[in-house]
Structure 1
């Protein structure tokens, strides 16, 4: 059943107080676009004058079980708005996941199965709660209203938007002109995401820059159903550790929020000094004035490493606690001095049956320290392999029975126990 339609009430003008200006500054921090900003200012002023929190929506499809720091950019913005008193709605797109988001795709995206969606959704909010205040977060699933629409409601909803407007979307436009197939069900995704805003009566919807078309659909459909249209806020896509591409597991340039504290800390310390300031803006909870002051100090001669340590400790503490952040710094400093961390994995390997010993390249591959023997040999040639603290230069070296602390690069360690061949 579709929402009742009536013209939105004309809202009186409310004063732009200092608190409204402060809320606007918090909203603007790090954003790519805030549309329309004038409408958002009016909403903030009305909320301040009436004491009624604004409804702020973020929808995430549980397409994967884990969240990385790139996902937390919009979660951080949501938390900042939550902290100044607004109602945050964390929407899990269990229905829309079954369609598949076509955003940025040049082929039809295979929809997830209900079993995959359920399994992923179970971990999504648990991880998001490490950023959001769970006591002040409204959790919703869009199957609540999407399932209830039925065939009749879906047809009525589809009548609210034209094919010509749908084809203005970049990915649909490009695929059409390239002769790449577009399935009809893909048109339903932005319609259903937009309908979420109608069902939730949202005042503001957040998303990445790649979601702008879908967010604008929410504004259009709210106006169609007689509601005051939501404003939209898009956040930049966080650049990954490589400093080139957006953070992505497929690019292996990500920091997972469930990663071990030492690993998370080490990855954050590896980013460039320039990229660090984007991370501060998008990931830190420090005030922008404090960040700008820190940046000025580094420009005037302070070691940027000091700032990077602050950033890494803040993020590790958020997901693992203050104690883990202190330990991660100690571990990182120990490694920098050439020491061995306390939590290295232990691996048991067998010697070849011929008794000739195990070659270093084979050991690295079997211990999971290199993906292949050829890559292991390349690492040895570059001086990136140490055993018991000594660099290995001889690729023909073979090791007998014993226990060896093996290091590859700066951060990979393993305690390898070699014993006689198994019969």
Structure 2
């Protein structure tokens, strides 16, 4: 997997005892074209971001890079706590790609070592660490999914076990000596748990240190993360100072709301869009978001210029159907993770379903027919359209079930011999033959 990426320089073998220097101040003055490029790079950096720390430092780094032609090192670390990436994860991946397109070096860091500790961010209880086997299984799919957003030919992929495992007990103690417990307890979730008397395991205090040491090992100029990672990212900045490096800047991105528009997008909450979901499913889910949430998705997920999005929003405010804008967003996202042809097909499929039509590629199955017929709720459950008979009854009561295109209103309806098309909601179909 790693061999498919660009050359990966060796991690540093030791730490410099000197204090950090500011290399940016040594950059020669910029010509007008270089100054304009820096302004554009700053605008790209700040688009949709929650916070940029410290902006003046980042401008200085951009100035140095423009003057010398030396790309900056930009890092994103993800712990492979689950095998799949949803579009909420791509908010930071999109930003990474935008900075990559400006010519900077992008480092996609897989936290195979830190995953064994368990990130306590936002937790009110100790997060159980993953086993090495679980981490390996999850990490196997990360490269393929991340490369749908990043340019794999221009991306360094690294595993933080490269430098974390060789630290050993002596190195870990020396690292821990560079940060105080008082500063660690300034972290919100640690503070809340400490005040509430909720246990904080010692290994949880090591997590921010190990994540911060990643920045030292990679000599990063900028680290990206969600807003929930701000404390950890700042630890990296402080540790770089301790190791005599120019401190990295911090770019936090908002946590994307899920389809419900309320909770953070999460597979466990069922409000997510997986980047490997079928095109028709992805398209339909994007069409289901609210008109208000649509603009949030445009800002954080779309690659369209902000001016174009603002003009589109003005058209909707002036009376244009918001569905037109939503279709544009859905087509862009589906095309990115699948293809333009897949986006065309997904749109055609959605419009067919909206007109009450039946798609061509629905599941077909044979069910046994009892002597007195098969009840509709039982047929829906056996066809896999609902998880339970109770859910089938609920959907019938809500007029969410169709049999051969007609709304089913009778809970006691029994199906006889022959073939029928069953539909639940707008997207679930099955062609069932009874006999």
- The TM-score normalised by the length of structure 2 is 0.94
| Matching of residues 336-415 of structure 1 within 5 Å | 336-352=354-370, 355-415=371-431
In structure 2, the residue matched to 1:179 is 197
- Paired with 1:255 and 1:343, the residues of 2 have a C-alpha distance of 21
| RMSD (Å), alpha carbons | 1.1
1:3 pairs with one of 15, 18, 24: 15
Once the two structures are superposed, residues 73-119 of structure 1 have per-residue CA deviations (whole angstroms, 9 ceiling, x without a partner) of 00000000000111000000000001100001111111000001001
1:163 pairs with one of 172, 177, 181: 181
Unmatched segments (≥5 aa) in structure 2: 1-12
Aligned residues: 417
- Paired with 1:162 and 1:7, the residues of 2 have a C-alpha distance of 18
Deviation at 1:125, TM superposition (A): 1.2
In structure 1, the residue matched to 2:239 is 221
- Contact (CA 8 Å) 2:257, 2:265: kept in 1 or not? yes
In structure 2, the residue matched to 1:324 is 342
Deviation at 1:261, TM superposition (A): 0.3
- Paired with 2:197 and 2:419, the residues of 1 have a C-alpha distance of 60
Is 1:71 the counterpart of 2:80? The answer is no
- Contact (CA 8 Å) 1:2, 1:153: kept in 2 or not? no
In structure 1, the residue matched to 2:72 is 54
- Contact (CA 8 Å) 1:58, 1:89: kept in 2 or not? yes
In structure 1, the residue matched to 2:3 is none
Unmatched segments (≥5 aa) in structure 1: none
- Paired with 2:315 and 2:120, the residues of 1 have a C-alpha distance of 44
2:36 pairs with one of 12, 15, 18: 18
1:125 pairs with one of 124, 129, 143: 143
The alignment partner of 1:17 has SS state of helix
- Paired with 2:398 and 2:162, the residues of 1 have a C-alpha distance of 57
Deviation at 1:310, TM superposition (A): 0.7
Once the two structures are superposed, residues 332-357 of structure 1 have per-residue CA deviations (whole angstroms, 9 ceiling, x without a partner) of 110111101122222332223xx111
- Paired with 1:360 and 1:317, the residues of 2 have a C-alpha distance of 38
Deviation at 1:182, TM superposition (A): 1.0
The alignment partner of 1:206 has SS state of strand
In structure 1, the residue matched to 2:315 is 297
Once the two structures are superposed, residues 370-411 of structure 1 have per-residue CA deviations (whole angstroms, 9 ceiling, x without a partner) of 222122111111111101001111111111222211111111
- Paired with 2:234 and 2:366, the residues of 1 have a C-alpha distance of 56
- Contact (CA 8 Å) 1:265, 1:328: kept in 2 or not? yes
Name the stretch that deviates more: 394-403 or 276-285.
394-403
Name the stretch that deviates more: 328-337 or 409-418.
409-418
Is 1:279 the counterpart of 2:297? The answer is yes
The alignment partner of 2:26 has SS state of coil
Once the two structures are superposed, residues 199-223 of structure 1 have per-residue CA deviations (whole angstroms, 9 ceiling, x without a partner) of 0000000000000010000001000
- Contact (CA 8 Å) 2:219, 2:245: kept in 1 or not? yes
